[in-house]
Structure 1
Amino acid sequence: MDKYKAIPQGYMTVGEAAKKMDVTVRTLQHYDRTGLLSPSTMSEGGRRLYTDKDMVKLHQILSLKRLGFSLDDIKNRLISLDTPAEIADVLEKQAVAVRQKIESLSESLRELEGLREEVLQMQSVNFKKYADIIVNLQMENDFYWLIKHFDDQTLDHIRSRFDKDSGRVFMDTFIQLQNEAIRLQNAGVPGDSDEGQSFAKAYWDMIMDFTDGDMSMLPKLIELGRFEGTDPKWKEKQNLANRYVEQALGFYFSQSGIDPFQEGGE
């Protein structure tokens, strides 16, 4: 009957520890077998005995498990809990992991909500467009919603022309030039001035980069600012920028002898 002797003060049985931390006895037995969390001692009768320190360590394990770490990962993350500094270090690392998880979940939620909104606005099921929207959401491209307006030919071109990195660079260039057009418009800089024509060349180079010289895509690009259901702020900004872009490009084409629409029809 030795196994039923009184438990020493400061220790608890596996059943008591399991109840205290709201886990099963089987879970603690498994953690013991795998070397993740062994009891501080064994009773004379062979019973597993745990301490409050073990409970702190168990809390660490359970927290990391909820964050999605595997038991092997957790085992590598556990460190000694013998000094306040060590305990504080463990808690700080867990706090960092929690913050990262929150950020990751928040990003996943943003992507889910964004995709759901686009799916509801599309008139038919199109998994290719869904996939493109997901990629652009992951890139944090604020113009992901434009994808639903592109036809398959334009999207095929974009997929073949750009990857994540080059796509991000292109969008950065587009945004910079759009902002520059608004600045020049507000500053009253003439489109046929040296500054205006320098802008026009940069803008035309961007268009040529996007189309890869295929002028048949120009009418589709012009329609970008006329889509129904587009974000009002984006549309207002686009219209403002386009006033200057059209003026500056008009002078640029006349000076350079370029007729983009004639080229597109050849």
Structure 2
Amino acid sequence: MAKNNSFIRLEGTLDGLTFFRKNGKNFVKTKSGVSRNRILNDPAYKRTRENMQEFGGAARCSKAFRDSFASIARLVGDTYLSARITGKLRGILPNGVGLRGERDINLVDNSASLVGLNFNESKPFDRHFNAPSTGPVIAASRDTVTWSVPDFSTDTYINAPEGATHCKLALCAGYTSNYEWEAVLKSYEPVEDTPNGIGEVSYSAAIPLTGMVGAATDLTVDLTANAPIPVTTALFASTAIVFYQEVNGAFYELAQGHCMKIAAAG
């Protein structure tokens, strides 16, 4: 793959060359001469087909994971969130039972690998909020999550973006099922359809960014409507901070600065 240094910026395919932009730079590569039919049928591409199947499974599992945080992900996620989560799940696949191309995505036994994942890599949660707390606590029944943050100074423990006058802390929790290869359907499917991709968010009251909060901040996410939770379904809990600007008594979400990370799993 070569860089395109011409002042003419092309995008698309022309005479077997594909022009595209990535990270603000222009690139050009030759068009692949391998047909789709050959990839899907030629024994020489068996490993490629195996990788394609497992990548498809990781992508489906990644979507369910993101769906469980859908109500807040648009605020806190970056452009590459989907790809990064899929990559994490691809890393789990070698631990799964089955033949190459059909290995289980055992998220339950490997859930710890996603703890610490920031939804926006350029805005790590711990860089913007680091008040002392024990972090989210997942109940043994895995249908309730709590987070208690003792009184703290917003001046000391919050790195707010310019223009922010208030913030809200948020506790989010969501379920993602293990995925298995279904030979009949020729695709990866969730072991349990529910509560796969289901989640909830609990926000604190608006906190002025001026000195001490004045009291502990206690948040609870109640997911008992989904109980009992299947043993093949993982629960992920995340902590977030969302920034606002108060104008004439109304709170407006800022366009930037929000962040969230996966803080616990069970």
* TM class, shorter-length: under 0.3
TM-score relative to the length of structure 1? 0.25
Higher-helix-fraction structure: 1
Q: Work out which of the two has the higher radius of gyration on C-alpha atoms and give 1 or 2.
A: 1
Q: Which has the higher contact order (CA 8 A, sep 6+)?
A: 2
TM-score with structure 2 setting the length:
0.25
Structure 1 or 2: more strand by fraction = 2
